[in-house]
Amino acid sequence: MRLLIFTLIFFKFFSPVNANSIYYLTKIPNLQIYNLEASNGIKYLKAEKSFTVGIVKNNVQCDEPNENYIKNKFKIIKKNLDKYKKSFLNKINLRYVVLCENLKVSDIRTAGVPNIDVKTLIIDIKSDPKYFERSIHHELFHMVDDSYKNLFPQNKWNEFNDSNFQYAECSTCSNRSNLSLMKSSNGFLTEYSMSTASEDMAEIFSFLMTDEVNLSKIILRDPILNNKVNFIVGETKKIDNNFKFNK
C-alpha cells in the first residue's frame, strides 16, 4: 500500500510541466492557436512542434504541420466543420481541433483522434486526400458515439447485419482497411465499414455528411444499409432535432 502511495505521488509530482494555457485545457503539449474565428465556436489549434500524448502510455504522436500545406487544408477542414452548429458541437463535446501531420496511434497512421474528455479532435492534415473530407466527419462521429453510447448500442447495430456476419475485435485487428466505396454494398459502404460496428456507423455518418445523394441511391437497393442509415439519422436527431445532414 505504501509503495502504491509513493508511486502515485511520484507520477503526480514528477510529470513534466507543459507550460502554457492551451495545455491546461487540452492536455496536449506544444500547441498554439491557429484560428479562433469560427462562428460555431470551434477553436483551431496547431502543433508548433511534435507532441506525444496518452493516458497510460504516450501512444498518440503527431508532428508540426507544414505552413503552406496547412493553409489549403484548413479551408477544407473549416468548410466541413462549419456544417455543424455550435449547439450540436456542445452536445457532442467538440471544442478544439488540433491540426498536425503524421498522426499515429501506437505507431499506426490514423486520420484523426477524438477525445471527448478534453473536447478535442486531432486531425492529420496529411491523411489520404482522396478521403480527407469524409474522414473529418467519420472522426467527428466517434465523438457523437462516445458522448451518447446509449443511443448507438453495438448489439442493436449487429442485428442489422446478416446473422453469419462478424466484425473484427478492433478496427486495426483486421485487414479490412480500404475506404473506397464498394461496388456491391451488401450492408456495408466500404471495406473499413466491416471492421467494427463503431467504424461502420462512422462510415455511414460520413457519407451522410458528404455524399447523401449517392447514398440515397445505394440504400434503395440495399435494405440492410437502408435500416442502418435510418438508425443513424434517427438517433442523431434525438441528440439534436434540428440537425441537418449534408447542409
Distance CA 80, CA 245 (A): 11
Q: In this complex, which beta carbon is closest to another protein, that of residue 150 or of residue 175? A: 150
The residue written with cell numbers 443511443 in the block is: 151
Of these, 28, 29, 30, 43, which contacts another protein (CB under 8 A)?
Answer: 43
- Shortest Å, Cβ 85 to another protein: 15
The residue written with cell numbers 471492421 in the block is: 195
Which one-letter DSSP state was computed for residue 104? Answer: E
Based on the shown chain and the rule CB under 8 A, indicate whether residue 36 belongs to the binding site for another protein. yes
Continuous segment of H or E residues that includes residue 143: helix 132-147
DSSP-derived pairing of the beta strands 112-115 and 108-109: unpaired
> Which residues have CB under 8 Å from 69's CB, separation 6+?
101, 125, 126
CA 199 to chain centre: 10
Q: What is the crossing angle of helices 67-81 and 132-147, to 10°?
A: 60
Based on the shown chain and the rule CB under 8 A, indicate whether residue 95 belongs to the binding site for another protein. yes
Based on the shown chain and the rule CB under 8 A, indicate whether residue 8 belongs to the binding site for another protein. yes
Based on the shown chain and the rule CB under 8 A, indicate whether residue 39 belongs to the binding site for another protein. no
Distance CA 127, CA 79 (A): 17
x-marked contacts with another protein along 102-141 as a string, rule CB under 8 A: ---------------xx-----------------------
- Shortest Å, Cβ 57 to another protein: 19
- Shortest Å, Cβ 109 to another protein: 28
Binding piece for another protein, criterion CB under 8 A, among 4-12, 55-63, 169-177, 215-223? 4-12
- Shortest Å, Cβ 27 to another protein: 8
- Shortest Å, Cβ 36 to another protein: 6
Of these, 35, 38, 40, 41, which contacts another protein (CB under 8 A)?
Answer: 41
Q: Is 40 exposed, middle or buried (0-12, 13-18, 19+ CB in 10 A)?
A: middle
Number of residues in contact with another protein under rule CB under 8 A: 23
Based on the shown chain and the rule CB under 8 A, indicate whether residue 17 belongs to the binding site for another protein. yes
Instruction: Pick out residues in 170-209 that bind another protein (CB under 8 A).
Output: none
Of these, 13, 37, 68, 175, which contacts another protein (CB under 8 A)?
Answer: 13
Instruction: Name the residue among 147, 142, 40 with its Cα closest to residue 96.
Output: 40
Continuous segment of H or E residues that includes residue 96: strand 96-105
Distance CA 95, CA 43 (A): 6
Q: Which residues bind another protein (CB under 8 A)?
A: 5, 8-9, 12-17, 19-22, 24-25, 33, 36, 41, 43, 95-96, 117-118
